[in-house]
Amino acid sequence: MNDQALIDKANESLKDKVLAITNPAPRRIFLKVAVENLLEAVNWLKKDLGFTHLSTISGVDLGQSFEILYHFANNYCSFTIRTEIPRDNPQLPSICELIPGAILYERELQDMFGITIQNIPDPRPLLLPDDWPVGNYPLRKDWKYERPPEVIPGGKK
């Protein structure tokens, strides 16, 4: 199936749920949907087109909102589902029921951006230490790194 056939199929199947669809390069498709249509779009991509490999989920801090990108791949192309959520109440539904391996990426979104993933099977922190300060999210643009005081072993106290 070529790029245009995939785009036509997306428009036909998801209809008014498609906010935007682009083909920036050969074998590369971006589909933008509202967050309330995310599960339906992922389910359509998996069931109708056979995309079962989730390469990663990435996030971008846009200032007033976050854009979340779900990168799928098969032998033909890379297909990215994009959605945007507000910064003041960042919540996403978990896609783990559809793609179980998404749990690692969803836990990373929670740690690094402070995004609440609803119905995630295991919400524990993944990357940050247990004593990490609450409310500090390293991939947000407004996060400031504060270097801890240096401790020199055997040095003066």
Per-residue model confidence (pLDDT) at position 110: 95
Pairing of strands 78-86, 28-33: parallel
Taking the C-alpha atoms of residue 80 and residue 59, their distance in angstroms, rounded to an integer, is 12
Q: What percent of the chain has pLDDT over 70?
A: 97
Q: Which CATH superfamily is domain 3-118 in?
A: NADH:ubiquinone oxidoreductase Nqo5 subunit (3.30.460.80)
Pairing of strands 91-93, 78-86: unpaired
The three-state secondary structure class of 118 is strand
Per-residue model confidence (pLDDT) at position 150: 74
Q: What percent of the chain has pLDDT over 90?
A: 80
**pTM for the complete prediction?**
0.90
For 31, counting Cβ atoms within 10 Å of its Cβ (0-12 exposed, 13-18 middle, 19+ buried), the class is buried
Per-residue model confidence (pLDDT) at position 33: 98
Name the residue among 3, 77, 85 with its Cα closest to residue 37: 85
pLDDT digits (tens, 9 = 90+) for 64-109: 999 999 999 998 899 999 999 999 999 999 999 999 999 999 999 9
The residue ranking higher by pLDDT, 134 or 31, is 31
pLDDT digits (tens, 9 = 90+) for 65-74: 999 999 999 9
Per-residue model confidence (pLDDT) at position 151: 74
